[in-house]
Amino acid sequence: MRQRRKLRRPRAIFLKINRSPFTQLRIKCAFHMSEKNLTYWRNKSLYINPSAECNNDCLFCVRQFGDGVFGFDLTLESLPSPAEIEDAIERAWNPHFDEVAIVGFGEPLLNLDGTLAAIRKVKQLADVPVRLNTNGEALLIHPDRDVPKELAEAGLDRIQVSLNAPDTETYLRLCRPKYGRATYDSILDFTERCKQYMTVEISAVDIPGVDIEACRGIADRLGVRFRLRVFKGPEGALDGILRTLTS
């Protein structure tokens, strides 16, 4: 009899665990995350990682301090294909997700076709809002494409543009963009073009030396929302960033 009780207990525990949809969600997402690093999650939000490459080298970026977020490794060997992204979304999908965010470990719009495929795939699976976080440099990355219109036609609901600076000089020091001085004005142009298609907000990270109220004023002038983001790097890193901005 003692031997039977030992055999039954693991089975009972297993059944109890699997009655919880949130436990199943954690197991499912963690399993597929380890395969290709294309999806990750937190609470009821699914995140999609279409690119680990970036055309900026921001001093405050989480890429400077680790290989991922929320305990997930988000490094990728190359840009995934649209089909790979669609497959990863389908594998990770759970009906308890109530929001989807396309927030790459790099810049999602470096993989524009993969990002568009991700939006369309989510909309096929469920009627949930889809948000995209971007550095807003799409007009420079894809000068021959109407990126705001393509995103809207795919079904994007909201776009968050990482402005992070109130002027060109601060942006160059803080974000170190590949495209140089043309970048800042192009971001503002992209933000303006997106307004006719979807909800738009610009964001800035709360970093000493950055005039946050001036960033908020730019959002007001453009007629879009403003979001203040928390710095997610180690506390000591802020001193180095401040020295760079004020040197």
Residue 17 in any domain: the answer is no
- Determine which of 10-19, 81-90, 166-175 has the lowest per-residue pLDDT on average: 10-19
Mean pLDDT to the nearest integer, 54-66 = 85
Residue 75 in any domain: the answer is yes
Nearest C-alpha neighbor of 79 from the set 101, 109, 102, 58? 109
Number of Cβ atoms within 10 Å of the Cβ of 170: 19
Give residue 92's domain range.
30-246
pLDDT digits 0-9 by tens, 8-38 = 333 333 333 344 444 445 544 444 443 468 9
Helix, coil or strand: residue 213 = helix
- What CATH number is given to the structural domain containing 104? 3.20.20.70
Q: Is the dihedral of CA 55, 58, 61, 64 positive or negative?
A: positive
- The residue that leads in pLDDT, 247 or 20, is 247
Strand pairing of 68-69 and 199-205?
Answer: unpaired
Residue 9 in any domain: the answer is no
Residue 93 in any domain: the answer is yes
Residue 3 in any domain: the answer is no
For the chain, the domain total comes to 1
Scan for tokens 């369309």, then name that residue: 120
pLDDT digits 0-9 by tens, 180-218 = 999 999 999 999 999 999 999 999 999 988 999 999 999
- Determine the pLDDT at residue 5: 39
Residue 63 in any domain: the answer is yes
Q: What is the C-alpha to C-alpha distance for residues 91 and 23, in angstroms, rounded to an integer?
A: 16
Scan for tokens 């020091």, then name that residue: 173
